[in-house]
Amino acid sequence: MWQLLSSPQERGAGEQALAACQELPAGPGLVIGSGGSSGGGSDESKSGRRWCLQPWSHLEAAAASCGAWLSSIGLDPERVAVVNPLPGHHMGGLMPQVRARVWGVPLLELSPEQLKTPATLLEHQASSGELQGREFLLSLVPTQLQRLLADPSGVAWLQGFALIWVGGAGLSPALAEQARQRQLRLAPCYGATETAAMVTALDPAAFLAGTNGCGQPLADVSLQIDPSHQAIQVRCQRLSPGWLAGPQVQPFADASGWWSSGDAGSLGPAGLQVLGRLDGALNSGGATVFPEQIEAALAQTPGVAALLVLGLPDPEWGQRLVALVRPSSAADGPAAVANLRARAAALPPAERPKSWLLCPELAPNAQGKWERQRWQTWALNAQGLHPRGHG
């Protein structure tokens, strides 16, 4: 039996897709919404939300693989406690539950409201007797990490964890350096709904020593980079059997068992480096530019609360880079833009935004990810361009 896992807002669409499928594989398993990574700029990658099948056996195998990785870095998965502040209808919030069950350890669920009041987190965690003597593990997205680092109580809480996985979006160099200065044991990782969460993770000791990136593949995972368009390709036994495509299930893997993600990357001695989304890559002056790399380079600029780089049509550059800026306060707007311009001057010409637009409402979604199409429309309207045909 296949069970739908979704937010209340998306339940109708998920139920409709599940009811339309006439060739479901044998269950049990979950149907989970995926952002639509298929790589290479194919039609699938532009189709938006897809409903991905993940058998329970795959989720349990992923938890076992994660436990083996913990053992390899000196943590006993049977002597930990799992703390989960992520929503359960996404893979990032589901897998802490599965790991706790497979490892037979306590699970502490946190609501978004609790995470917004760091002063109460230490008391809440210390009040549970069953957690005494255990090593604490946590999963965060970078936005949550940044907010907690801005509060002394949040920093103190984070310092109590033996390991903090950070995924779901890129970790900027500036944010990584803040975490190192506070001796936080971060483990940046990479994974997807299609792969039942993480397929690589960086040892916290290597992170604290200055290593960047998402680490080496887990023992049950093979990685390669497609040379034609730099797509990260994954092969593992826990890859989803496919996604709901009308009456059929469309497989993710090719004939050789490889799945092409929607992310570009590179592999080196330190493991995987994620460059950015392939479907978000821009052509600026003949150069391929990944907005995430520019955003990371300009992150933590004084006076800037949020920054998003987009590409608008341009006859000279192909795509003209535009930066949306949410200043720390309305009064900080001019200074924030001036600071950003100064920092951007050190970037290659193709990576320097040509326009800077103040956008007080700019923010990622609840999962810490950017809805780039939404902000692309906003930028087109702000520039007096009609959004139709410029998606």
Same domain assignment for residues 293 and 260: no
Look at residue 390 and tell me if it is in a domain: no
Mean of pLDDT over the chain: 89
Look at residue 387 and tell me if it is in a domain: no
Residue that is written with structure tokens 């549970």 in the block: 128
Look at residue 302 and tell me if it is in a domain: yes
Residue numbers of the domain that contains 269? 2-277
Tell me the three-class secondary structure of 176-216, residue by residue. Answer: HHHHHHCCCCEEEEEEEHHHCEEEEECCHHHHHCCCCCCCE
Interval 32-82: pLDDT, tens: 998 643 333 333 333 457 999 999 999 999 999 999 999 999 999 999 999
Retrieve residue 244's tokens. Answer: 């709901």
Q: Of 361, 356, 359, give the one whose Cα is nearest residue 337.
A: 356
Q: How far is CA 108 from the centre of its chain?
A: 22
Q: How far apart, in whole angstroms, are the C-alpha atoms of residue 94 and residue 128?
A: 22
φ/ψ of 234, rounded to 5, equals -125, 140
Same domain assignment for residues 271 and 289: no
Strand partners, 311: 321
Last residue of a domain, one of 214, 248, 277: 277
Look at residue 188 and tell me if it is in a domain: yes
Same domain assignment for residues 329 and 267: no
Q: What is the predicted pLDDT for the residue at 288?
A: 82
Is the CB of residue 2 less than 8 Å from the CB of residue 53?
A: yes
Q: How far apart, in whole angstroms, are the C-alpha atoms of residue 62 and residue 194?
A: 11
Note if the bond before 28 is cis, omega within 30 degrees. Answer: yes
DSSP state, residue 348: -
Look at residue 193 and tell me if it is in a domain: yes
**CA angle 217–98–258, rounded 5-degree value:** 35
Last residue of a domain, one of 246, 277, 308: 277
Same domain assignment for residues 302 and 266: no
Last residue of a domain, one of 250, 277, 304: 277
DSSP state, residue 384: T
Same domain assignment for residues 101 and 164: yes
Same domain assignment for residues 220 and 338: no
**Who contacts 207 (Cβ-Cβ below 8 Å, separation ≥6)?**
176, 179, 180, 185, 186, 187, 188
Which of the residues in the chain have pLDDT under 50?
Answer: 36-47, 388-391
Same domain assignment for residues 14 and 74: yes
Where residue 58 sits, what CATH number does that domain have?
3.40.50.12780
**Structural domain count, the chain:** 2
When computed from its CA atoms, the radius of gyration of the chain, rounded to whole angstroms, is 21
Same domain assignment for residues 152 and 271: yes
Tell me the pTM. 0.81
Where residue 297 sits, what CATH number does that domain have?
3.30.300.30
Same domain assignment for residues 187 and 307: no
Same domain assignment for residues 104 and 197: yes
Residue that is written with structure tokens 């609360």 in the block: 305
Q: Of 92, 158, 97, 150, give the one whose Cα is nearest residue 122.
A: 158
Look at residue 391 and tell me if it is in a domain: no
Residue that is written with structure tokens 């978000």 in the block: 280
- 96-103's contacts with Cβ under 8 Å and 24+ in sequence apart are 96/139, 98/59, 98/60, 98/62, 98/63, 99/63, 99/66, 99/67, 101/63, 102/60, 102/63, 102/64, 102/67, 103/63, 103/67, 103/77, 103/78
Same domain assignment for residues 114 and 228: yes
Same domain assignment for residues 210 and 288: no
Q: What is the predicted pLDDT for the residue at 36?
A: 46
Look at residue 164 and tell me if it is in a domain: yes
Q: How many CA atoms lie within 13 A of 38 on its CB side?
A: 19
